[in-house]
């Protein structure tokens, strides 16, 4: 009996799990049997690794081969284990040195001719390998830059199976730099100077950026709602090192990372089409879910244009993530939780016909109410800022150039810095993360300051949740003007942004 052992990793929700691969070559009729709760794609690896080994001019072992992936009760999906399976077979046959096998993670899909193809989820796999005490990782050359984001790991990139086997025998050094690529396709940052007029909406965007608040923009088509939303990432602060790795990990699992520059250090901007499904927005798939658009917008912006055209179930699926900052998905293959702390920006026309001039609208009052009525009360209660945008007019179009993003971004950074310093002791980064009880007790404002909130609560114009969110918004307004605590004017202005109609 001959036994070969290697290590690989499989995705398990928002993380990876290290898998031990064993190959046993024994007596019996020639054949390959695989154990360990594998899916159909992984079962097909039996044929892929056999063709890859033989086409790499290496003999295929004669005998009964059993491939085991432990732990056996864990669901295993995808093709990323191909390389580890092939190396385990060659180790069991005694065709490669075993000196590196005990501390090396092998990842990659094998083509029939022995070439290595890139796989998703490399970053969380390398993180898991480091946590398990492994020191080396071998990946397809296209995944080298991604794997190298984890410090303290010896990363090697290979183009084919022969390169990996030669490295194991000490005859080759694997590449540790990814392939050269053309990065001229990187999108340019848009600037707020492109948006003329709309002073109130621009100020609302600045407030939203300063406190990570959710925003609703309504108005006729062509008024600039989408232009403003797309410029929000340009005034947001860069991601910290830990946030960048967290966001990059999500995009690695989703398979949306760039090969030439995998690290995401800017706030992502995700804008799904209004025909998107609940699973595409929140995450789904079988047997193990993948992160959806809401999770890919983690630490960034989720923009839902024409939000009134989305299905009610799609919109309502965001209510829990807006409160908790995470999405919990249950499937037959298991339960996973994806981080989803994003800024929600909604944009909608006031009615279905949406003429440029509201006086030309042919919709009845009932139709108008029903159209934006798709935005339910519980959902809108979680949106801090609501702005109705009107056409800017000829005077605004001919006025001087608007303020650029750089100037606005400086004020946003100053406000965020003040909030971060104030909440650092409690682990909160932005005003929008502060729990309501903390605002009402530990950081309680004087009665004269919160009087507008009490009046709104007494009249039933806001809920208790809405009152907490108005207080968070008031703290952001205070930070933007450089004050230590909010004033009664800040609280009243925060309520004004929440109370204005959007119908």
| 312 backbone dihedrals φ, ψ, rounded to 5° | -55, -40
The confidence score (pLDDT) of residue 417 equals 97
Which residue blocks in 101-142 are alpha helix, DSSP H?
122-131
Output Rg (C-alpha) for the chain, integer angstroms.
27
Per run of 10 residues, the mean pLDDT along the chain (length 503 residues) is 89 90 91 92 94 95 93 90 96 91 96 96 96 96 94 95 95 78 54 88 96 95 92 95 94 89 94 93 81 96 94 93 89 79 95 85 89 89 93 66 91 97 94 93 93 92 93 97 95 88 51
Domain 2-168: CATH class, spelled out: alpha beta
Report the C-alpha gap between 330 and 195 in whole angstroms.
43
Report the C-alpha gap between 167 and 176 in whole angstroms.
13
pTM for the model: 0.90
The confidence score (pLDDT) of residue 402 equals 81
Between strands 334-339 and 326-331, the pairing is antiparallel
Domain 192-415: CATH class, spelled out: alpha beta
Whether the CA torsion 81, 86, 91, 96 is positive or negative: it is: negative
Domain spans in the chain, listed from the N-terminal domain onward: 2-168, 192-415, 434-503
Cross-strand bridge partners of residue 162:
none
| b/e sequence 195-233, b meaning 16+ C-beta within 10 Å | bbbbeebbebbbbbbbbbbbbbbbbbeebbbbbbbbbbb
Structure tokens at 230: 């797309």
**Non-local CB neighbours of 126 within 8 Å, separated by 6+ positions:** 105, 137, 147, 149, 150, 153, 155
CA dihedral 322, 326, 328, 329 (to 10 degrees): 90
């Amino acid at each position: 009996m001959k036994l070969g052992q290697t290590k690989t990793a499989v995705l398990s929700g928002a993380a990876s799990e290290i898998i031990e691969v064993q190959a046993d070559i024994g007596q019996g009729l020639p054949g390959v049997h695989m154990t360990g709760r594998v899916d159909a794609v992984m079962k097909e690896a039996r044929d892929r690794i056999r063709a890859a080994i033989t086409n790499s001019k290496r003999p295929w072992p004669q005998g009964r081969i059993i491939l085991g992936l432990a732990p056996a009760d864990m669901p295993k999906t995808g093709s990323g284990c191909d390389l580890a399976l092939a190396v385990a077979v060659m180790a069991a046959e005694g065709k490669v040195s075993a000196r590196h096998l005990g501390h090396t993670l092998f990842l990659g899909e094998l083509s029939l001719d022995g070439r290595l193809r890139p796989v998703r989820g490399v970053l969380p796999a390398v993180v898991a390998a480091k946590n398990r005490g492994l020191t080396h990782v071998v990946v397809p050359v296209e995944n080298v830059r991604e794997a190298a984001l984890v410090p303290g790991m010896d990363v090697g990139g290979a183009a084919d199976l022969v390169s990996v086997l030669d490295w194991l025998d000490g005859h080759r050094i694997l590449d540790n730099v990814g392939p050269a690529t053309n990065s001229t396709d990187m999108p340019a940052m848009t600037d707020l100077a492109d948006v003329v007029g709309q002073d109130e909406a621009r100020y609302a965007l600045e407030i939203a950026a300063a406190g990570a608040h959710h925003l609703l923009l309504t108005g006729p088509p062509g008024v600039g709602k989408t232009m403003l939303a797309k410029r929000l990432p340009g005034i947001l602060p860069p991601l910290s090192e830990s946030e960048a790795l967290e966001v990059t990990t999500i995009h690695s699992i989703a398979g949306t990372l760039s090969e030439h520059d995998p690290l995401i250090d800017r706030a992502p901007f995700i804008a799904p089409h209004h025909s998107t499904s609940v699973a595409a927005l929140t995450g789904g798939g079988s047997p193990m879910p993948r992160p959806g658009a809401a999770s890919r917008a983690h630490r960034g912006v989720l923009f839902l244009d024409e939000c009134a055209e989305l299905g009610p179930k799609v919109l309502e699926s965001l209510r829990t993530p807006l409160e908790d900052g995470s999405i919990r998905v249950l499937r037959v293959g298991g339960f996973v939780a994806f981080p989803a702390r994003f800024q929600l920006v909604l944009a909608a026309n006031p009615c279905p016909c949406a003429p440029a001039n509201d006086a030309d609208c042919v919709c009845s009052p009932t139709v108008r109410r029903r159209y934006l009525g798709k935005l339910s009360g519980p959902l809108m209660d979680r949106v801090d800022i609501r702005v109705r945008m009107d056409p800017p007019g000829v005077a605004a179009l001919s006025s001087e150039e608007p303020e650029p993003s750089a100037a606005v971004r400086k004020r946003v950074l100053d406000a965020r810095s003040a909030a971060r310093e104030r909440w650092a002791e409690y682990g909160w980064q932005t005003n929008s993360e502060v729990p309501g009880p903390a605002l009402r007790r530990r950081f309680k404002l004087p009665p004269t300051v919160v009087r507008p909130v009490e009046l709104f609560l007494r009249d039933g114009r806001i809920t208790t949740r809405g009152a907490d969110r108005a207080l968070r918004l008031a703290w952001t307004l205070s930070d933007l003007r450089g004050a230590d605590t909010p004033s009664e004017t800040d609280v009243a202005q925060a309520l004004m942004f929440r109370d204005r109609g959007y119908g």
